[in-house]
Structure 1
Amino acid sequence: MTARAHTPESQDELLEYRLSLRLGPVHARQRLGIEREAEARVFGPNYKSFHLENLTSAPGFIRFCLQLVGLFRRGQNNSRRLNTTSNHFHIPDLPESFEGYRILHLTDLHVDMDEANLQAVIDRISSLEYDLCVLTGDYRRLTWGPVDEALEGMAQLRDAIRGDAYAVLGNHDSIRMVPALEDMGYRLLMNEHVPIHLNGETIYLAGVDDAHFYKVHNLHRAGDDIPLGNISILLSHTPEIFREAAHAGYDIFLCGHTHGGQICLPGGIPVTLDSDCPRALGRGLWRMNGMQGYTSPGSGTSVINVRLNCPPEVTIHTLTRGPE
């Protein structure tokens, strides 16, 4: 008796069942349904956002313009030269055991965009010292279609990351990637939180699903059970929910999405941030209602693998009780 082959339909059913068990049936149905209906649209729901990456003519047009002015090759080389940026979060109430705790922050990797860029990220983090790694979304180049190449790249990256790695999804990522990413050793925080224990003391790490395109973030579900008065860090793909997060009481907010503009005018002035937030939140350290936030310009590129006046980075955040 021969075993029945797995058809695409049966594989989809198995995936949906696994996602329902992992995330709950409502979240799984909602995210999958929106992906099927709208993942490749140029305009977001209610036409409130514009997605250049979904315009099929955009990469060729931008490449032509940059080649015309002699900037394409320079921009491509720039995209493969990563900086290591150090940032300190000063938290007076930080548990003593977490003094000097280091968090490696990676975001907007788009690992199937450019093999040389992915290798540059792997090379860059290989010598870094850190206690925890967090990733804030956009692992895939496109916003629709197959996920296999992105998953292969994420597997290579996971081999290079030491210790625990917690992640959230971005607007480029399919929820279909969750089981495979977790099988690799990434822990996805899908409107969830986890305690981080050290020497009998605890801080909390929370994460929300994409708040930019899919609008499936849920800060209440992510943080309602975090004990009052404990230090909490929120991972979000985009800075757009900064007000909600600040009023929810998170101490630290880590995000990406903006690429810092990726193609900027001299002085690092972004042409666009593709994000509904103040420009002051488009890159680097910021504050809002007592919450400290950091928007990383990311390690990868979107639409076209070039960067101008906006170098890519990997970020090491250090937690400290000391004065600023």
Structure 2
Amino acid sequence: MAPLWQPCRVPSSEFLRRRVGLTLGAGAAAGLALTTYAAWEARQYTLREVTVPILPAGRPALRVLHLSDIHMAPDQQAKQEWLRSLADLAPDLVIDTGDNLSHMASVPVVVDSLGPLLDLPGVSVFGSNDYFSPGWRNPMLYLLPDRGKRNTHTPQLPWRELKQRFADRGWVHLCNERATITAAGTTFALAGVDDPHLEYDDLAAVAGPADRDADVRLGITHAPYLRVLDQYAADGYDAVIAGHTHGGQVCLPGIGALTTNCDLEPARAKGLHRHPAESAPGDPGSAWLHVSAGLGTNPYVRLRVACRPEATLMTLVPRS
């Protein structure tokens, strides 16, 4: 009589096939779950708030809205509605650090989404995705060493129209230039360079000591390359305002940014820091550095992980 129980004997090749199938299935399910989450997170628009002590003593606080890397496509209605809602903040000054566009038809959409913000004092610089149409790129390639290859072979975006539309509403565009503006009774001495990622920056054009007669001195750039940060800090700017990094391009929960798509170290890929990193307020040749993680994504890979899209409301207060 046969035993009541016998071990199931599966041929080794069949066993391996089943193991491989289960492993691949689990990997595919995990990949789908991560992609679904990343697509959801890319639409979780967030307002960050930071306090920066750079005003002269006795001045009332004022608010600066920092926008960056909008990467607008005409079909992104949720992003457009969220941007329109920022006008309710009624900031004293708006700083746009570039990469506004992602599509040939994006200019009127960007202008409409900014709405009343364009009637406030504003400053802008451009990034590479204001100049050239984006192409598809695997985000994991950002982890590889920078070979210096830039996306300049795609059609040009209508950046001239965007620049004119901003100017028509009173914003100051800084393309390797210095300027002075007044907002909320405060005088700002500004320096802004064209996109360092494309090596369009002309540091010599904005070199020299920042205006000590101004109340606040700000250096503006799209990409926070160290050569730009070093010069602004050495020239006496109180703070440097930048974007470009997308908060690290690739982030891991609990670890943070893995890269910045420039030579800034990942630890300062977003948020408020000092430059040089080890400096303290009051140190000669040092400045505050604010890097925005930005609002957008590559239009072909609309994903973000562990780094929600953001704008930042910077409250400027007197130096302690």
Q: What is the TM-score when the length of structure 1 is the normalising length?
A: 0.69
How many residues in Structure 1 have an aligned counterpart in Structure 2? 252
Identity %: 27
Post-superposition CA distance 1:254-311 (Å, at most 9, x none): 0010001244111252233211112222111111242001111011112511111111
Post-superposition CA distance 1:205-263 (Å, at most 9, x none): 221100112x1212342354853453311110011122222122211100010001244
Q: Which residue of 2 aligns with 1:84?
A: 47
Q: 1:261 aligns to what SS in structure 2?
A: coil
For residues 160 and 287 of structure 1, do their structure 2 counterparts lie closer, same or farther at Cα, with a shift above 3 Å needed? same
For residues 223 and 94 of structure 1, do their structure 2 counterparts lie closer, same or farther at Cα, with a shift above 3 Å needed? farther
Q: Following the alignment from structure 1 to structure 2, what is the Cα–Cα distance between the partners of residues 219 and 95? A: 31
Q: 2:71 aligns to what SS in structure 1?
A: coil
Q: Is the 8 A contact 1:190 1:209 kept in 2?
A: yes
Q: Following the alignment from structure 1 to structure 2, what is the Cα–Cα distance between the partners of residues 103 and 66? A: 43
Counterpart residue identity of residue 105, structure 2: E
Unaligned runs of 5+ in 1: 1-63, 142-146
For residues 72 and 250 of structure 1, do their structure 2 counterparts lie closer, same or farther at Cα, with a shift above 3 Å needed? same
Q: Which residue of 1 aligns with 2:121?
A: 164
Q: Is the 8 A contact 1:82 1:311 kept in 2?
A: yes
Unaligned runs of 5+ in 2: 1-26, 132-155, 276-284
Q: Return the match for 2:293 from 291, 297, 315.
A: 297
Q: Is the 8 A contact 2:178 2:206 kept in 1?
A: yes
Q: Return the match for 1:110 from 71, 88, 91.
A: 71
Higher helix share: 1
Q: Following the alignment from structure 1 to structure 2, what is the Cα–Cα distance between the partners of residues 101 and 270? A: 30
Q: How does 1:170-185 map to 2 (within 5 A)?
A: 170-174=127-131, 177-184=159-166, 185=169
For residues 197 and 150 of structure 1, do their structure 2 counterparts lie closer, same or farther at Cα, with a shift above 3 Å needed? same
Q: Indicate whether 1:206 and 2:191 are aligned.
A: yes
Q: Is the 8 A contact 2:84 2:113 kept in 1?
A: no
Q: Following the alignment from structure 2 to structure 1, what is the Cα–Cα distance between the partners of residues 28 and 313? A: 35
Q: Return the match for 2:175 from 190, 194, 199.
A: 190
Q: Indicate whether 1:245 and 2:208 are aligned.
A: no
Q: Is the 8 A contact 1:95 1:202 kept in 2?
A: no
For residues 70 and 160 of structure 1, do their structure 2 counterparts lie closer, same or farther at Cα, with a shift above 3 Å needed? farther
C-alpha RMSD of the superposition: 2.7
Q: Following the alignment from structure 2 to structure 1, what is the Cα–Cα distance between the partners of residues 77 and 224? A: 28
Q: Indicate whether 1:221 and 2:194 are aligned.
A: no
For residues 121 and 201 of structure 1, do their structure 2 counterparts lie closer, same or farther at Cα, with a shift above 3 Å needed? closer
Q: Following the alignment from structure 2 to structure 1, what is the Cα–Cα distance between the partners of residues 184 and 241? A: 24
Q: Which residue of 1 aligns with 2:312?
A: 315
Q: Following the alignment from structure 2 to structure 1, what is the Cα–Cα distance between the partners of residues 308 and 319? A: 29
Q: Following the alignment from structure 1 to structure 2, what is the Cα–Cα distance between the partners of residues 198 and 155? A: 21
Q: Is the 8 A contact 2:97 2:222 kept in 1?
A: yes
